[in-house]
Chains A and B, each alone.
Chain A
Amino acid sequence: MKSKNRESLTDSRELDGSYDPLTDSVEDDFELSTVCHRPESMDKLQEQTKFTKKELQVLYRGFKNECPSGVVNEENFKNIYSQFFPQGDSSTYAHFLFEAFDTDKNGSVSFEDFVFGLSIILRGTINDRLNWAFNLYDLNKDGCITKDEMLDIMKSIYDMMGKYTYPTMQDDAPREHVESFFQKMDQNNDGVVTIEEFIESCKKVHVHCEIVMVLPVQPWLCRSPAHLRLISNH
């Protein structure tokens, strides 16, 4: 009895032919499911980033605890991120973040990607950080932010708030937010914001980068407390 099909006997689905034993059964021979990725040595990472050995150790421990296989795929990433925003839907924003971290576009974030990103955000110069933020906003990575891209990001941020907000969330709140922001940033009024316009206008608003840049990735610096674990490991 090599391939035993797992049949649903609770209703008559299988009898009525809506349960396809070929595609719906549990795979008896599951492939080597674990993709193990080993990061580069700590010395190399220390050269390439601005973290000390101890910090790298702490980061790696946290990373490995959440993702023992050494890489994060998008599902896991969204899962982890959603634990910190229980009221809203953070999956879109997590998706954009994932794209920003996954620099080699292979669908998974390894420890190196993670650490490089964090190094820029936490230890980089103002220009580096703004560059990274620009990269986050530029969804198709073509070097300029259009209004639609901005709108997508804004909507994803507003989604994280969820339904129960005060004042009540209006449907066009993101759009209005984008309008005002875009108008300020796009100085030559060509409909897109380039990196230079972005950096310049951000610097003008006297952004305090320590707090700002910690915002998107702060979850990774916290270790999950017990009650957040409960949500993920039901």
Chain B
Amino acid sequence: MATGVAAWLPFARAAAIGWMPVASCPMPVAPRDHRRRQDELIVLNVSGRRFQTWRTTLDRYPDTLLGSSEKDFFYNEETKEYFFDRDPDAFRSVLNFYRTGKLHYPRHECISAYDEELTFFGIIPEIIGDCCYEEYKDRKRENLERLQDDQEENKDVKLPHMNFRETMWRAFENPHTSTMALVFYYVTGFFIAISVITNVVETVPCGSTATQKDMPCGERYTVAFFCMDTACVMIFTVEYLLRLFAAPSRYRFMRSVMSIIDVVAILPYYIGLVMTDNEDVSGAFVTLRVFRVFRIFKFSRHSQGLRILGYTLKSCASELGFLLFSLTMAIIIFATVMFYAEKGSSSSKFTSIPASFWYTIVTMTTLGYGDMVPKTIAGKIFGSICSLSGVLVIALPVPVIVSNFSRIYHQNQRADKRRAQKKARLARIRLAKSGSANAFLLSKRNGLLNELLELTGPNASEQKASKSSCLLESQHHHLLHCLEKTTAHEFVDEQLYEQNYLEAALQSFPSRRASVSSRDGATPTCCGRGAKRDATLLEAPPQPGPKQQGPLQELSAIHIQCVDRPSHSASRSKLNLKSDDVGRLNCKGGRITAAIVSLPSPPALTAPDGADLHGPPARRPPPPPLSPGPSIRTTASSANVVKVSAL
């Protein structure tokens, strides 16, 4: 029952008094309304705009958000109202639905925003009233097409492992995928053009020779034209066979339009080869040559406009059918009339009704060749009526076809534009993603920097103030940090990753040198050192150290300057110095011949913050003295790892 009439129910029930006098059985007991609640006003605060309505209005549809107990989740105790953080304009339609029972779709509203609102409030879009339904469906279909378009593009992009056949098919369909495909595309296009031109030129009179008069070029240079034709047909045959081989569904391919055109285009040649000099069928053979003109349709693979035209005609099939039907009707009517009108006149060309068809068609299409003209007065009158009506009959369905073409054409233009904008869109998304990743790295650096400064400097409070932004960011970064701790790897950005990769590639080279140096300890080259299990050591360099490679590198790099031999052995002990001494060492700048990079092994990192951050139970236990990954065992190293690379 429509809820709009619900208000009239008491009246209808009261009007039942009319049945009482003649009731044959006693009336049933009326249902009691147990929920004798005072109808109260509910305040719905939607992003600041307050809507008020009766509770019973909302209760009309108990399977929506507002009609069920779900709205209690949004109830604000202090202000005694229901707060929704949604769009107030869209909410108007939603509330109107409760009031009137009809859901309307506002035309200015974006379809996906509207859909979201409806889903949020638990209203099924199918109950949109008839007045707005068409518009809603149209917009929704457009939106779906747009999404499908995007999905198709994605499918094109990610293609993991295709076998040869699939690659070939894809190359055929989308020539821009590889250079070979593009070359093939242009070659076939060229040969189609050559073939068509050849067919045309074949029939042009080439000028007279001594023996005969004007004969067509085809007969004069038979061999040349035959060779040309053979070449083209060879190419077309090869192309057809390749496509047949590569097609995912051969049966479907053979049924498709282009395949039929291809076959029809090359068949005359083969038939011609087969039946060469048989006189009686040569007539038929000549007609077969007509089919060679179908080669021009092969251009539809190359031209989008042709495809659009073809598709338009196909989609306007009903309009074209109507055009044809009405024309046929008119032709028959007028031909009959003209025939009987001209029957009387002598030497009339209108010998039969079918003969008059020609006149009618020529007149209705306003061609007017003049080979058949009416002579009687009645004939002329009906002739003029015929030509006037011809204009009308033809002019009516044509605009429909034209508008169809225009719509499809614009749709394709839009699709092309979207594809062009897709690159920009993807770049934006990538930027946003890397932005969030970089934000994390930045905050990590800042965080560690701050910790370090706390350890060393007295103005720790200022650093804390500059520490990260909102709670959300810090919680997100904490999450990423936890992940790092779980896997005992750190996030880095791309360039640092490349650098490390490079270093890892080089690490095998200095390894031998490192072991040599640690043995005799007298070479001025890089040497392995055992990094102390001291977190401060790891974090010492950033503050005064040279900032060439970015703070993250510095966090784990201890630049040691090995200037000359004598200081070398002394510097070994310097590692045991406190952080600022190492810092001082770094400050010397200038020649840096080695960088010792120590892997942030889990215990070292978790030592200072072990109190508050532990990974989940699947945490790696303290690693053995030889930790995994690219590392160099040095005889002097006590615990953890050093990886040595030459800069």
Residues of A within 8 A of B (CB): 1, 4, 6-18, 20, 26-28, 30, 32, 34, 36, 38-39, 41-42, 56-57, 60-61, 64-65, 68-70, 84-87, 130, 133, 150, 153-154, 157-158, 160-170, 173, 176-177, 180-181, 184, 198, 201-202, 205-208, 211-212, 215, 218-219, 221-223, 225, 227-228, 230-231, 234
Q: A9-B311, A16-B258, A169-B489 are in contact. Are A68 and B145 (CB under 8 A)?
A: no
Is there a chain A Cβ closer than 8 Å to B111's Cβ? no
Q: Which residues of B contact A61 (CB under 8 A)?
A: 73-74, 85
Chain A residues with Cβ below 8 Å from B433 are: 86, 231
Asked if A165 contacts B490 (CB within 8 A), the reply is yes
CB of B200 within 8 Å of the partner chain = no
B408 touches A9 (CB 8 A): yes
- Which residues of A sit under 8 angstroms from B425, Cβ to Cβ? 234
- Shortest Cβ-Cβ A-B pairs, 4 listed: A17-B256, A68-B120, A68-B119, A164-B497
User: In the complex, what distance in Å separates the CA atom of A39 from the CA atom of B74?
Assistant: 13
Question: Any chain A CB within 8 A of the CB of B567?
Answer: no
**B461 contacts the other chain (Cβ, under 8 Å)?**
no
Q: Which listed segment binds A: B343-351, B374-382, B608-616? A: B608-616
- Determine which of A165, A225, A230 lies in contact with B428 in the assembled complex, contact meaning CB atoms within 8 Å: A230
Q: A18-B248, A161-B489, A166-B497 are in contact. Are A222 and B304 (CB under 8 A)?
A: no
- Quick one: closest B residue to A39, CB to CB? B70
B65, B73, B472, B492: the one within 8 Å of A225 (CB): B472
The answer on a CB contact under 8 Å between A9 and B496 is no
Asked whether B3 is an interface residue with its Cβ less than 8 Å from the other chain, the reply is no
Interface status of B52 (Cβ within 8 A of chain A)? no
Min CB distance A172 to B, Å, is 8
Q: Is B300 a contact of A164 with CB atoms below 8 Å?
A: no
In addition to A42-B73, A225-B472, A234-B425, 11 A-B residue pairs with Cβ atoms within 8 Å of each other are: A16-B259, A18-B169, A26-B144, A26-B148, A32-B124, A61-B74, A68-B119, A158-B487, A165-B497, A211-B612, A231-B429
Instruction: Judge whether B256 and A157 touch: CB under 8 Å.
Output: no
Secondary structure dominating the interface of A: loop
Report the minimal beta-carbon distance from B37 to chain A, rounded to whole angstroms: 17
Mask of B520-562 contacts with A, CB within 8 angstroms, 1/0: 0000000000000000000000000000000010001000000
Q: List 10 A-B contacts (CB under 8 A).
A: A15-B301, A15-B307, A16-B173, A38-B68, A84-B480, A86-B433, A130-B617, A165-B487, A165-B497, A166-B600
Residues B27-70 near A (CB distance < 8 A): 63, 65, 68-70
Q: Which range holds the interface residue count of chain B?
A: 35 or more
Task: Give B85's nearest chain A residue, CB to CB.
Answer: A61
Decide: A208 and B119 in contact? CB cutoff 8 A. no
Within the complex, which residue of A18, A165, A170, A219 is in contact with B628, where a contact is CB–CB below 8 Å?
A170
User: In the complex, are the beta carbons of B619 and A205 less than 8 A apart?
Assistant: yes
The segment from B327-335, B434-442, B586-594 found at the interface with A is B434-442
CB atoms of A26 and B617 under 8 A apart? no
Instruction: State whether B501 touches A10 (Cβ < 8 A).
Output: no
Structural contact, B492 and A165, CB atoms closer than 8 A: yes
Report the Cα distance A1→B497, complex, angstroms. 57
Say yes or no: A10-B256 contact (C-beta < 8 A), given A160-B483, A165-B489.
Answer: no
Q: Contacts A12-B300, A173-B487, A227-B436: A42 and B616 contacting too (C-beta < 8 A)?
A: no
- Cβ-neighbour of B412 out of A10, A56, A84, A180 (below 8 A): A10
For the complex, is B160 an interface residue (Cβ under 8 Å from A)? no
What residue in chain B is nearest A134 (Cβ atoms)? B617
A42 to B501, CA, bound (A): 54
**Contact at B300–A166, with CB atoms within 8 Å?**
no
* A170 and B618 in contact, given A17-B259, A64-B120 (Cβ under 8 angstroms): no
**Alpha-carbon separation in the docked complex, A167 to B553 (Å):** 11
Contact with A along B109-124 (1 / 0, CB 8 A): 0000000101110101
Across the interface, do A16 and B243 meet the contact criterion of CB distance under 8 Å? yes
Contact: B429 with A234, CB < 8 Å? yes
For residue A44, give the distance in angstroms from its CB to the closest CB of chain B: 9
**Alpha-carbon distance between A13 and B255 when the two chains are bound, in angstroms:** 13
Cβ contacts under 8 Å, A30 to chain B: 140, 144
| Residue of A whose beta carbon sits closest to that of B261 | A15
**Is the CB of B141 closer than 8 A to any CB of chain A?**
yes
Establish whether residues A34 and B119, one from each chain, have CB atoms under 8 Å apart when the complex forms: yes
Note all chain A residues with C-beta closer than 8 A to B556. 166
> What A residues does B301 contact at CB under 8 A?
12, 15-16
**A211 contacts across to B, CB distance below 8 A:** 482, 612-614
With contacts A12-B258, A26-B145 taken as known, whether A85 is within 8 angstroms of B483 at the C-beta atoms is yes
Inside 8 A of A223's CB, which chain B residues have their CB?
Answer: 472
Query: Does the CB pair B412–A161 fall under 8 Å?
Result: no
Q: A13 and B617: CB pair below 8 A?
A: no
Chain A CB within 8 A of B475 CB = yes
Which residues of A have CB within 8 Å of B140?
30
Residues of chain A with a CB closer than 8 A to B448's CB:
none
The answer to whether A11 and B492 have CB atoms under 8 Å apart is no
Are A164 and B493 neighbours in the complex by a CB distance under 8 Å? yes
Specify which chain B residues have a CB less than 8 angstroms from the CB of A9 in the assembled complex.
304, 307-308, 311, 408, 412
Q: Which chain B residue has the least Cβ–Cβ distance from A213?
A: B616
Q: Are B247 and A18 in contact (CB under 8 A)?
A: yes
A234–B428 Cα gap in the complex (Å)?
A: 9
- Cβ of B403 within 8 Å of any chain A Cβ, yes or no, is no
Q: How far is the CA of A31 from the CA of B613 in the complex (A)?
A: 49
Q: Which of B278-317 contact A (CB under 8 A)?
A: 300-301, 304, 307-308, 311, 315
**Residue in chain B with minimal CB distance to A67:** B119
- CB pair A168–B247 under 8 Å, yes or no, is no
Rounded to whole Å, the gap between the CB of B110 and the closest CB of chain A is 12
The reply on B599 being an interface residue by CB < 8 A is yes
List residues of chain B with CB within 8 A of the CB of A13.
173
Chain B contacts for A160, CB-based, 8 A:
483
Chain B contacts for A85, CB-based, 8 A = 480, 483
Does B500 have its Cβ within 8 Å of any Cβ on chain A? yes
Which chain A residues border B253 with CB–CB below 8 Å?
Answer: 16-18
Contact with A along B246-264 (1 / 0, CB 8 A): 0111001111111100000
Within 8 Å by CB of B247, from A15, A16, A177, A231, lies A16
Task: Report the Cα distance A163→B497, complex, angstroms.
Answer: 8
The answer to whether B620 touches A181 (Cβ under 8 A) is yes
By CB atoms of chain A within 10 A, which of B482, B487, B494, B629 has the most? B487
- Asked if B486 is at the interface (CB within 8 A of a chain A CB), the reply is yes
Q: Does B235 contact A (CB under 8 A)?
A: no
A56: chain B residues at CB < 8 Å are 73
**B479 within 8 A of partner (CB):** yes
Question: Please, how many angstroms separate the alpha-carbon atoms of A153 and B259 in the complex?
Answer: 51
Which of A18, A57, A87 contacts B252 (CB under 8 A)? A18
Q: Is B432 an interface residue (CB 8 A)?
A: yes
Among candidates B255, B473, B486, residue contacting A17 with C-beta atoms closer than 8 Å: B255
Given contacts A10-B412, A57-B74, whether A36 and B122 have CB atoms under 8 Å apart is: yes
Complex interface: chain A residues within 8 A of B473 (CB): 225
Q: What's the Cα separation between A130 and B629 when bound, in Å?
A: 31
Contact call A177/B618, Cβ cutoff below 8 A: yes
A167 to chain B, nearest CB (A): 5
Q: Is the CB of B247 within 8 A of A34?
A: no
Inter-subunit contact B487/A10 (CB<8 Å): no
Cα-based distance from A154 to B487 in the complex (angstroms): 9
| Contact yes or no, B491 A87, CB < 8 A | yes
Bound-complex Cα distance A13 to B243 (A): 12
Distance A223 CA – B544 CA, assembled complex (angstroms): 39
A154 to B615, CA, bound (A): 13
In contact, A166 and B496 (Cβ under 8 angstroms): yes
List A contacts of B437 (CB < 8 A).
86-87
Flag whether B21 is at the interface (Cβ < 8 A). Answer: no
Contact B429 A218 (CB under 8 A): no
CA distance A177 to B629 in the complex (A): 13
- By a CB distance below 8 angstroms, the chain A residues around B621 are 180-181, 184
A1-B315, A12-B301 are known contacts. Are A167 and B630 too (CB-CB below 8 A)? Answer: yes
